[in-house]
Amino acid sequence: MLRQPHCILLGLLAACSLLLSACGSPKKTASTSSGAVPAANACTPAKLPLQTKGVLTVATDSPAYPPYFEANKPANGRGFESAVAYAIAGNLGFSRSQVKWIVEPFDSSYAPGPKSFDFDVNEISITKPRLQAVDFSAPYYTNPQAIIVPAGSSYAHATRLSAFKGARIGVQIGSTSLDSVDSQIKPSPKPQVFNDSHDVVSAFRIHRVDAVVVDLATAFQLTATDLPHTTIAGQFSAPGGDTWGALLTKGSALTPCVDRAVSALRAHGTLAALGKRWIASAANVPVLR
């Protein structure tokens, strides 16, 4: 997904059933974990294979933006992914004081090799290529892609993805949004790819690109704060890139326990409740096909 640039506060919008159902019962992506069912007593703080004994080390990127993290402080428990991380920790038996947050850049989180964290929450979509290098828990959120355009442009009234075939589209490198543009829109001018979300937004402001593709939750933030006089032209599904999971080292013995914790939070309605509190509504955004 695309990391939002420098949003500070997002007015919370009422969440509708579309996103609630996505949060509450996301599709299980194949091979996200080993599939092993751990014994109940194996998933206690004393038994878990942790980076630091007695401490659950959780990673995310910096800066960390709303609605996923509030005030750029992951440890404050405010924001969707901060709250999800603490909910996972609580399910595993950790208190808030036993959770340690560290910084892990988005692009390096899913690179092959050992990790310095127990798990990472950073809007990281579960994809087949990433599953070759890391483990993911069961999905804790399902999020479609969205297209942001100037409110007065002809693209604002598009009814199909094919309307964007000739558009200059800006997108962040390494993101599933880029994969979505390539596979679903297939614009004739190749998408303009930028190193980070700040550069994508800057290019849009100076009219270097006609549209920006990001995940829907981020699109609500950008149009409400950083990109005035814009609108969300529509949302669309991107197979293989819509579900987010907690990321772990490939083959981690911790994966089955985190997987079970996320599944329990979904079954108990916790994920749906957190989505309702922190994630903006998808109401009235047309679906483009």
Q: How confident is the model at residue 276 (pLDDT cuts 50, 70, 90)?
A: confident
Statement to judge: residues 105 and 58 lie in one domain: yes
pLDDT tens across 99-131, in order?
999 999 998 999 999 999 999 999 998 989 999
Band the pLDDT of 8: cuts 50, 70, 90: very low
Q: Give the DSSP H/E element, type plus range, for residue 96.
A: none
In a domain, 8, yes or no: no
Mean pLDDT calculated for residue range 53-72: 93
Tell me, yes or no, whether 3 lies in a domain.
no
Is it the case that residue 280 has pLDDT exceeding 70? no
Distance CA 178, CA 191 (A): 8
Please write the tens of the pLDDT for every residue from 164-189: 999 999 999 988 899 999 999 999 99
Residue 59 sits at φ, ψ, to 5 deg, of -115, 155
Q: For helices 270-278 and 17-24, what crossing angle results, to 10°? A: 140
Model confidence band, residue 234 (pLDDT cutoffs 50, 70, 90): very high
33 with 117, same domain? yes
- 8 Å CB contact between 222 and 233: no
Residue 284 — pLDDT band, cuts 50, 70, 90?
A: confident
Looking at the structure, tell me whether residues 133 and 157 fall in a common domain: no
Q: Report whether the peptide linkage leading into residue 67 is cis, meaning its omega lies within 30 degrees of zero.
A: yes
What's the CATH code of the domain at 178?
A: 3.40.190.10
Handedness of CA 45, 46, 51, 53 (dihedral sign): positive
Instruction: Let me know if 99 is exposed, middle or buried by CB neighbors in 10 A (0-12, 13-18, 19+).
Output: buried
Question: Rounded to an integer, what distance in angstroms lies between the CA atom of residue 228 and that of residue 262?
Answer: 36
Which residues, 6 or more positions from 121, have their beta carbon under 8 angstroms from its beta carbon?
58, 59, 60, 81, 84, 85, 140, 244, 246, 247
E strand or H helix that includes residue 129? helix 128-131
Q: In terms of domains, do 65 and 200 share one?
A: no
Q: Tell me if residue 159 falls in helix, strand or coil.
A: coil
Tens digits of residue pLDDT in 186-231 = 999 999 999 988 899 999 999 999 999 998 888 988 998 889 999 9
Please give the residue range of the domain that contains residue 60: 17-142+243-278
Peptide bond into 63 cis (omega under 30): yes
249 in the same domain as 137: yes
Pair (80, 61) in one structural domain: yes
In a domain, 70, yes or no: yes
Arithmetic mean of pLDDT over the chain: 86
Report the pLDDT value the prediction gives residue 218, as an integer from 0 to 100: 85
- Tell me what the mean pLDDT of segment 261-266 comes to: 98
- Tell me what pLDDT residue 238 has: 76
Model confidence band, residue 39 (pLDDT cutoffs 50, 70, 90): low
77 shares its domain with 159: no
- Asked if 196 and 267 sit in the same domain, the reply is no
Say whether both 40 and 83 belong to one domain.
yes
- Tokens for 204, please give them: 């849009």
Q: Using alpha carbons, list the distances in angstroms from residue 69 to 63, 151, 284.
A: 9, 28, 25
Do 131 and 55 belong together in one domain? yes
The DSSP secondary-structure symbol of 119 reads E
Sign of the CA dihedral with 19 first, then 23, 25, and 27 last: positive
Q: Quick one: 34 and 86 in the same domain?
A: yes
- Please tell me the pTM assigned to this model: 0.73
The count of structural domains within the chain is 2
pLDDT at residue 96 is higher than 80: yes
Q: Which residues pair with 146 in a beta bridge?
A: 214, 235
Token match 């509450």: residue? Answer: 24
Most confident by average pLDDT, 73-77, 193-197, 239-243? 73-77
Helix axes 255-267, 80-92, angle to 10 degrees: 110
Nearest to 11 by CA among 235, 198, 232, 281: 281
> For residues 16 and 23, is the Cβ–Cβ distance under 8 A?
no
